[in-house]
Amino acid sequence: MKIAMTMDGNTLVSAVSSEFDTSPYLLVVHRSENAIEAIEEIGDLTAEQLAQKIIDLNCEGIITGNFKSQQSFDLLADACLTRFLGASHSGWEALELMKQRTLPLIRNFEGTEGCSGEHH
């Protein structure tokens, strides 16, 4: 399973970014191997370009912060990526919480508990 992570730094010791749209780094973690596949600076990408890049990398989920762009959220949701709220955690902590199934899901663009529209 490949998990994309928007991060404030280029390692798993760094914090998960508080906002998807302004994240400076993208890490892609291969959960089965516990290996980082890609570390990229993403500051020049728009939120929509970042969402498409994550889809193109064949990730199954993303650990990130809140979304400012409805379009980027919709791209990821329509591609059936599971969206986890990992802001305020280090990359390692967020991965461990995801593994324990205690990392909250980002169910809708507003970040509330309910589902809206066709995104699940």
- The DSSP string of 17-66 is PSBGGG-SEEEEEETTTTEEEEEEE-TTS-HHHHHHHHHHTT-SEEEE-B
* The predicted structure's pLDDT at residue 109: 83
Locate the domains of the chain by residue range.
2-99
As to burial, measured by CB atoms within 10 angstroms (0-12 exposed, 13-18 middle, 19+ buried), residue 54 is: buried
The number of residues in the chain equals: 120
Q: Would you give the DSSP letter of residue 114?
A: S
* The predicted structure's pLDDT at residue 47: 95
Q: Tell me the per-residue pLDDT of 82-114, one tens digit each, with 9 for 90 and over.
A: 999 999 999 999 999 999 999 999 999 886 666
* The predicted structure's pLDDT at residue 120: 46
pLDDT bin (cut points 50, 70, 90) of residue 32 is: confident
pLDDT of 119 strictly over 60: no
* The predicted structure's pLDDT at residue 36: 84
111 Ramachandran zone, left/alpha/beta (phi>0; psi -120 to 50): left
Highest mean pLDDT among 35-39, 76-80, 115-119: 76-80
* The predicted structure's pLDDT at residue 64: 97
Return the amino acid letter for 69.
Answer: S
Does 3.30.420.130 match the CATH number of domain 2-99? yes
* The predicted structure's pLDDT at residue 71: 96
Cα distances (angstroms) measured from residue 25 to each of 61, 80, 112, 115: 16, 22, 25, 28
